[in-house]
Chain A
Amino acid sequence: MGFWRKYIFSTDHKIIGIQFLFLSLFFLLMGGLLAMQMRWQLGFPGKPMPGGGILPESMAPGGVILPEYYIQLVTMHGTFMVFFAIMPLLVGVYANFLIPLKLGAHDMAFPRINMASFWTAFLAGMVMLASLFVPEGASRAGWTMYAPLSARLDLSGAGLGQSLWSVSIVFLGLSSILGALNYITTIINNRAPGMTWFRMPLSVWSLFITAILGLLALPVLSGAAIMLLFDQTIGTHFFDPPAGGQALLWQHLFWFFGHPEVYILILPAMGMVSDIIANGSRKPIFGYHSMVFAIIAIGFLGWVVWGHHMFVSGMNPTLGSSFMVSTMVIAVPSAIKTFNWMGTMWRGNLHFHVPMMNAVAFVAMFVIGGLSGVFMAATPVDIHIHDTYFIVAHLHYVLFGGSLFALFGAIVYWYPKMFGRMMSERWGKIHFWLTFVFYNLTFFPMHILGMAGHMRRLYDPTQYDFLKPYQPMNEFISVCAFLLFATQSIFALNFVISLFRGRKAELNPWHDNGLEWTLPSPAPHGNWTQVPSVYRGPYEFSSPLVAEDYLPQTQKLPTDQEPAVLAGAAS
Chain B
Amino acid sequence: MTHATTTASLMRPPFPAERGVDAHNLKLGMWVFLASEVMFFTALIGSYVILRFGAPGEWARPGTVLNVPVTAFNTFLLICSSVSMVKAFAAIADGNQKMLKVWLLLTIIGGAMFVGIQAYEYTHLVERGFLPSGVRDGSELAALVANGTLPQATMGLYGSTFYIMTGFHGFHVTCGVIAMTYLYFTKALRGKYTQQDYRGIETVGLYWHFVDLVWIILFTIVYLI
Contact = CB atoms under 8 A, between A and B. Distances in A.
Interface of A: 105-106, 109-110, 177, 180-182, 184-185, 188-196, 215-220, 222-224, 226-227, 230, 234-238, 240, 243-246, 249, 252-253, 531, 563, 565-566, 569
Interface in B114-159: 131-134, 153-154, 156-157, 159
Contacts of A217: 39
B29 A109 contact: yes
A563 B133 CA distance: 62
B42 A220 contact: yes
B18 A191 contact: yes
B98 to A, nearest CB: 31
A460 B42 CA distance: 41
8 contacts: A110-B25, A181-B32, A184-B32, A193-B16, A216-B35, A224-B43, A238-B160, A531-B15
B35 A565 contact: no
Interface string B13-25: 1011111110111
A565 B19 contact: yes
B179 to A, nearest CB: 14
Interface string B38-78: 01111110010011001111000000000000000000000
B109 interface: no
B39 A216 contact: yes
Interface of B: 13, 15-21, 23-25, 28-29, 32-33, 35-37, 39-44, 47, 50-51, 54-57, 131-134, 153-154, 156-157, 159-161, 163-164, 168
Given A194-B18, A223-B42, 11 more contacts: A188-B28, A190-B17, A190-B20, A192-B18, A196-B18, A215-B35, A215-B39, A227-B164, A235-B132, A245-B156, A563-B18
A347 B130 CA distance: 72
B47 A188 contact: no
Contacts of B56: 244
Nearest to B29: A185
B17 A230 contact: no
Given A216-B35, A219-B36, A219-B43, A189 B160 contact: no
B32 A243 contact: no
Contacts of A227: 43-44, 47, 164
Contacts of A189: 13, 17, 20-21, 23-25, 28
6 smallest A-B Cβ distances: which pairs? Answer: A223-B43, A235-B133, A189-B20, A236-B160, A219-B40, A243-B156
Contact of A215 (B13, B16, B36, B41): B36
A9 B15 CA distance: 25
